[in-house]
Amino acid sequence: MKRIAVVGGRGFVGGELLRLLVHHPEVEVTAVTSDTHAGRAVETAHPPLRGSGLRYGRREDLEPADLIFLAGVHGSTAKILDDTAALAPKIVDLTADFRLADAALMERYYGWRRDGEHAAPFVRGLPELHREEIAAADRVAVPGCMATSAILSLAPLAARGLLRDIDVDARTGSSGSGASSGDANSHALRSGVMRVFAPFGHRHEAEVSEALGVAASMTVTATPQVRGVQTLAKVDVGEVSERELLGMYREDYAKEPFVRLVNSPRGTYRYPDPKVLLGSNFCDVGVVVDGRGKALVMGSIDNLMKGAAGGAVQCMNLMLGLPETYGLTFPGLHPV
């Protein structure tokens, strides 16, 4: 059994990581940290983990492990990278600290740049685009949730030179802001909203730009559900037909265990819908054309799964030489 530690295990992403790891056939969770909950049972923060026997410890007391997940707040990984690297040969980071390779983009979107040892490269944690690099990597940075949905839904078009500038319309549920988000995420203020909170310049657009090699802009709207991300983008595809576009997606994703092409001629679930993905590691993608040279490209995920913990465990499996789907085959709940 591989020994796994989770830093930041009190948060929403940490909870999902633990839910996946405690039932994983080839790993054992040897430590979970939280500064605010040190000494308490993990189930006090994550009731689905009742009976797991896991207890929070302090990060300073971490013992060596085979792989450490870093699920703290943005900025925390850069501060503890050296200490963490001394304890484990492999690191999977869920913060934004090492998602961007371009230091200038990092400075523009986050206001700080990495220098010296903190410039150490991390591989982008999207197996569909970087499988072999992840399998060979010691350090992997999982992309942001909305970036994951946008990148996977648009990648087949980018690979064929069909993308120029793109505008991504992203919608996100409240868990995307984490367990400690402020007043705007309280039930009274969040319930029922369709609130545009990032008209332009959301940080995830930098990841989309870098991953797809095109200028991207992203508008983000807060929606009332707890989990789920949907991204939409309209792309000029000229004479390319819907049938040809669907063929491109099938070609790229037919063998992917966690990407599904959704485009049904009838029924309630004709296009990607995050509601049917809750708890699963799938990214559903879809494309439809209007007959006048425009395509609507759609992506949907559970932000805490394929957009965070699920994607991270998929990377862990690759990094440890395990079957990629281990621990990740839960199909989701319906209805929920």
Ligand X SMILES: NC(=O)c1ccc[n+]([C@@H]2O[C@H](COP(=O)([O-])OP(=O)(O)OC[C@H]3O[C@@H](n4cnc5c(N)ncnc54)[C@H](OP(=O)(O)O)[C@@H]3O)[C@@H](O)[C@H]2O)c1
- Tell me the CA distances in angstroms from 32 to 6, 17, 59, 328, one per residue in order: 5, 10, 8, 20
Residue nearest to ligand X (CB): 11
Of the residues 19, 27, 32, 34, which one makes contact with ligand X according to CB under 6 A: 34
* 326, 25 contact by CB (below 8 A): yes
Nearer to ligand X by C-beta: 144 or 272? 144
Binders of ligand X among 158-197, rule CB under 6 A? 175-176, 178-180
Site string for ligand X, 269-308 (x = CB under 6 A): ----------------------------------xx--xx
Nearer to ligand X, 98 or 249 (CB): 98
Please tell me whether residue 19 binds ligand X under the rule CB under 6 A. Answer: no
Please state the φ and ψ torsions of residue 123, each to the nearest 5 degrees: -85, 140
Cβ neighbours for 144, distance < 8 A, ≥ 6 positions apart: 96, 99, 203, 204, 207, 307
- Give the residue, chosen from 2, 4, 5, 14, that forms a contact with ligand X under the rule CB under 6 A: 14
Residue type, 197: F
Q: What is the CA radius of gyration of the chain?
A: 19
C-alpha distances in angstroms, 183 versus 11, 111, 186? 17, 24, 5
CB of 165 to ligand X, least distance (A): 25
- 163 versus 313: smaller Cβ distance to ligand X: 313
Question: Per-residue x/- mask for ligand X, residues 66 to 105, rule CB under 6 A?
Answer: -----xxxx-x-----------------xxx---------
Stated as kind and residue range, the H or E segment containing 300 is strand 294-301
Tokens representing residue 132 in the block: 């072999």
Residues 36-65 that bind ligand X (CB under 6 A): 36-37
Q: Residue 275: what residue type?
A: K
**What does the block give as tokens for 76?**
């925390």
What six digits make up the tokens of 100? 């961007």
Q: Using CA atoms, how far apart are residues 176 and 229, in angstroms rounded to an integer?
A: 8
Quick one: 38 or 288, whose CB is closer to ligand X? 38
Q: Are 267 and 199 in contact (CB under 8 A)?
A: no
From residue 134 to residue 153, what is the string marking binding to ligand X with x (rule CB under 6 A)? Answer: ----------xx--------
Per CB under 6 A, contacts with ligand X among 211-230 are none
Q: Where does residue 135 rank: exposed (0-12), middle (13-18), buried (19+ CB within 10 A)?
A: middle
Closest distance of CB 302 from ligand X, Å: 9
Q: Which is nearer to ligand X, 6 or 154 (CB)?
A: 6
Closest distance between ligand X and the C-beta of residue 76, in Å? 3
The nearer residue to ligand X, 94 or 163, going by C-beta atoms, is 94
Does residue 214 come out as left (phi exceeding 0), alpha (psi in the -120 to 50 range) or beta?
beta
Candidates 2-10, 113-121, 189-197, 254-262: pick the segment binding ligand X (CB under 6 A).
2-10
Tell which residue, 322, 297, 288, has the closest CA to residue 212: 297
Among the listed residues 13, 91, 106, 278, the single contact to ligand X using CB under 6 A? 13
Of residues 80 and 288, the one with the C-beta less far from ligand X: 80
Residue with tokens 């576009």: 245
Which of 2, 12, 134, 207 binds ligand X (CB under 6 A)? It is 12
Active-site residue flag, 145: yes
Which residue is catalytic, options 45, 81, 145, 216? 145
Please answer whether residues 92 and 70 qualify as being in contact, where contact means their C-beta atoms are separated by less than 8 angstroms: yes
- Give the binding-site size for ligand X (rule: CB under 6 A): 31
Site residues (CB under 6 A) for ligand X?
7-14, 34-37, 71-74, 76, 94-96, 144-145, 175-176, 178-180, 303-304, 307-308
- Catalytic positions, please? 145
